[in-house]
Structure 1
Amino acid sequence: MMQRTHVLAALLSAVLVAGGAQAQIMDTPASHAVIMDHETGTILFSKHGDEPMIPASMTKMMTAFLVFELIDRGEISLTDQFTVSEDAWRRGGFPSGTSTMGLAPGDTPTVEELLHGVIIMSGNDACIVLAEGISGSEEAFARRMTTLAHELGMTSADFKNATGLEDVGHVVSAEDLAKMAKLTIDKYPQYYDWYDMPSYTWREYTQANRNPILSIEGVDGLKTGHLEVSGYGLTASAVRDGVRRTIVINGLDSMAARAREGERMMRMAFQSYDLKVVTPESVELPEVQVWLGEQRAVPVSLADKMTIAGHKAALEKARTEIVLDNALQAPIRAGDTLGKLVVTIDGQPPVEAPIVAEASVKKLGFFGRAVEGLSQLIGGSDG
């Protein structure tokens, strides 16, 4: 049976206390939403964030990332040219009535030009041309997208196409889209810069970047999405004072609502949410009682740092306790893992980190154990 020792609320005050005591825990009209701290990958806020959803054109982040990977592996290059098929033109060009790069049958854009068409113009034709040129068909390319996503830990992903156009079973979670953004930023900064371009022109056709909050402080990407069945969505990332946060929203009912909620969520990501790293040196834990030892208690400390994140109002009310694996009995060696420190924050899974003994405790001799046993017997008789 686990032994639980409650830690005073003030124990972590030095690392948990943050401003905004009157703040309310946030909600959003979006059907799916996530706020992620970029450096740690910690999810600060989630509304159905782990549920597969229809991503619409936010799919194109994965389309582009797979192309980045293939360039990195040497399978293709930015200067390779692919020919625009009539199918790509009909399903993704001007005849489709959907987001387009404005390609025409027989055009031979380079991979770099097509990537600009995907990232900035949200061109469905550009996606299809890349898919056909690389894998022979869009379906084969989508299978590679899914395989790569799973390899990267995005297990909710099931891509049926490269465009994000409506297709049965084409889904990914908001949390996995946030991971996709993080991977893009971390692994391919030279290409991520393209997400910040205000517009792109293919021949005579110019399309402005569709990200509605690109002019907001620190925002430098990523991608919008919209289908009738999914509503309006946005994955966006920003840096302020050296801290990067990423938001994903989906299911809004208009472009205006997406712009408003995107701006509000990004503001909240920096103003209302916080992340604290608790190190072994920054927190002093109470001693833990030891049974049958030459000392009755042993000092303990965190074995490693722990990251605690969430809404500032919730962090202020965080509850902490030490949970021991068992009632401690000597002998104990310095460095032994004795249990864990558990931090509970409303609305979030508990955060845990192992605790270790800071000193050794020898076992009592025979006479000492007898005296200890007698004292426990006497003490145990009290009502």
Structure 2
Amino acid sequence: MTPLRLAILIIALLLGGHAAAQSQPIPVPDPPQLGADGYILMDFHSGRVLVDQNSDVRRDPASITKVMTAFVVFNELRSGDLTMDEPVRISEKAWRAPGSRMFIEVGNDIPVTDLIRGMIIQSGNDASIALAEHIAGSESTFAALMNQYAAELGMTNTHYTNATGLPGDEHYSTAADTARLVQALIERFPDYYRLYSEREFTWGGITQSNRNRMLWQDPSVDGVKTGYTEAAQYCLATSAERDGMRLISVVMGAETPEQRVSQSKSLLNYGYRFFETHRLYAADEPVETPRLWKGVADTLPVGVAEDVFITLPADTYDQLDARIRLNEPLEAPVAAGDRVGRLSVSRNDEVVRERDIIALETVPEAGFVGRTIDTVRLWLN
């Protein structure tokens, strides 16, 4: 081999080795260590927790409480028991509410839509109390509603005594519970959730900016809520979406408003840099069409009841192995929604997601002749 050919071969091997190295998955470093008391980073679609530090420790949630207040209000709107243009009479208690305010006046009739914006954008304690009293008759009764929804969502370390987030001995939540709440709010009320991205609101000639400064500093951020009391320090629940991947971060107990923003940025950037989320299967779409015996149809489309998402380290999607095990033989009658098998998704021989496989159609039994023929075929098989 001539020296020139040898040199070309060496260069080709070096370049090939470099390309192979570039195609390797990005190593996932340890998550950022923040100065806040507790924090969490979670993927919205898959629910996977990517960063967790004291996220189940009960803390004063401050005005992040108003996320649950809004959750209850949105449920009332969706059920038709409340409308956006419905007038709300302002009580003296609401008018006298301490802390952040929308500056509504006692005795006035204010539309629900304006009170919601005053609560979300201006973090108005007065607006929160007005909505609570209008829906439940009193703030304490409304707090009982809040606790019912918290239990429904599995927020086992949360208890509310008011609709505002003002301190109370039995008023507490956690970063993990707050992330679950934000996930549920976005999932159930996507149209109302858009209110959290509005940057300012004017009422009574007074314009107030949204306290969530992330809306100005990161174009992918579209919510959610800040909070502050002396006991809670500075808190921030954030949600952002980049290229179809939505993350939720919650920071509780930061020392300054600037730190809650910078710490939230660190969490989001870590998640987007080192992880990716994929939808593996769509709800109600066939993943297989296996043989069905003794039915009026010979095949049965099967799939999953809900979208199946998975969050994994970046560039490791090709390491996934999905397997479907059906309850064979499948025999009619089958009703849509019946469990007929199990989906198992693994990575490097570790199961990372499991879901039921269900029938996507209802198939009645065949007549006597058809059932008899299939019985014989099954016996022969």
Q: TM-score, normalised by structure 2?
A: 0.68
Q: 1:101 to 1:278 in 2, by over 3 A?
A: closer
* C-alpha separation in 2, matches of 1:144 and 1:231: 26
What is residue 372 of structure 1 aligned with on the other side? none
Q: Deviation digits for residues 266-313 of structure 1, max 9, x if unmatched?
A: 21221133446789xxxxxxxxxxxxxxxxxxxxxxx99997646669
Q: Deviation digits for residues 191-220 of structure 1, max 9, x if unmatched?
A: 111100010011111110011111203111
What is residue 234 of structure 1 aligned with on the other side? 236
What is residue 35 of structure 2 aligned with on the other side? 29
Q: In the alignment, is residue 65 of structure 1 matched against residue 71 of structure 2?
A: yes
CA RMSD of aligned residues (A): 3.5
* C-alpha separation in 1, matches of 2:312 and 2:233: 27
1:80-95 to 2 correspondence within 5 Å?
A: 80-90=86-96, 92=97
- Whether the aligned pair in 2 keeps the contact of 1:54 and 1:170 (CA below 8 Å) is yes
Q: In the alignment, is residue 132 of structure 1 matched against residue 133 of structure 2?
A: yes
SS at match of 1:221: strand
Give percent identity, aligned residues only: 33
Q: Which moved more, 1:247-256 or 1:68-77?
A: 68-77
- Whether the aligned pair in 2 keeps the contact of 1:84 and 1:103 (CA below 8 Å) is yes
- Whether the aligned pair in 1 keeps the contact of 2:32 and 2:267 (CA below 8 Å) is no
What is residue 376 of structure 1 aligned with on the other side? none
* C-alpha separation in 2, matches of 1:159 and 1:72: 22
Amino acid at match of 1:121: Q
SS at match of 1:109: strand
Q: 1:87 to 1:277 in 2, by over 3 A?
A: closer
Q: In the alignment, is residue 52 of structure 1 matched against residue 54 of structure 2?
A: no
Q: In the alignment, is residue 154 of structure 1 matched against residue 155 of structure 2?
A: yes
What is residue 174 of structure 2 aligned with on the other side? 173
SS at match of 1:172: coil
Q: In the alignment, is residue 247 of structure 1 matched against residue 246 of structure 2?
A: no
Q: 1:249 to 1:18 in 2, by over 3 A?
A: farther
* Stretches of structure 1 lacking an aligned partner (at least 5 in a row): 1-16, 280-302, 321-332, 355-383
Alpha-carbon shift at residue 341 of structure 1 (Å): 8.5
- Whether the aligned pair in 1 keeps the contact of 2:212 and 2:223 (CA below 8 Å) is yes
Q: 1:109 to 1:46 in 2, by over 3 A?
A: same
Amino acid at match of 1:25: P
* C-alpha separation in 2, matches of 1:205 and 1:233: 25
* C-alpha separation in 2, matches of 1:69 and 1:352: 31
1:1-383 to 2 correspondence within 5 Å?
A: 19-21=25-27, 23-90=29-96, 92=97, 96=98, 98-215=99-216, 216-275=218-277, 309=311, 351=352, 353=354
- Whether the aligned pair in 2 keeps the contact of 1:18 and 1:312 (CA below 8 Å) is no
* C-alpha separation in 1, matches of 2:50 and 2:70: 26
SS at match of 2:250: strand
Q: 1:312 to 1:173 in 2, by over 3 A?
A: farther
Amino acid at match of 2:108: D
Q: TM-score, normalised by structure 1?
A: 0.68
Alpha-carbon shift at residue 29 of structure 1 (Å): 1.6
What is residue 362 of structure 1 aligned with on the other side? none
Alpha-carbon shift at residue 342 of structure 1 (Å): 7.6
* C-alpha separation in 1, matches of 2:250 and 2:28: 25
SS at match of 1:201: strand
Alpha-carbon shift at residue 155 of structure 1 (Å): 2.5
Q: 1:273 to 1:50 in 2, by over 3 A?
A: farther
Q: 1:103 to 1:277 in 2, by over 3 A?
A: closer
SS at match of 1:70: helix
* C-alpha separation in 1, matches of 2:310 and 2:157: 25
Alpha-carbon shift at residue 46 of structure 1 (Å): 1.3
Alpha-carbon shift at residue 157 of structure 1 (Å): 2.0
- Whether the aligned pair in 1 keeps the contact of 2:280 and 2:310 (CA below 8 Å) is yes
SS at match of 1:244: strand
* C-alpha separation in 1, matches of 2:137 and 2:70: 17
- Whether the aligned pair in 2 keeps the contact of 1:101 and 1:124 (CA below 8 Å) is yes
- Whether the aligned pair in 2 keeps the contact of 1:306 and 1:353 (CA below 8 Å) is no
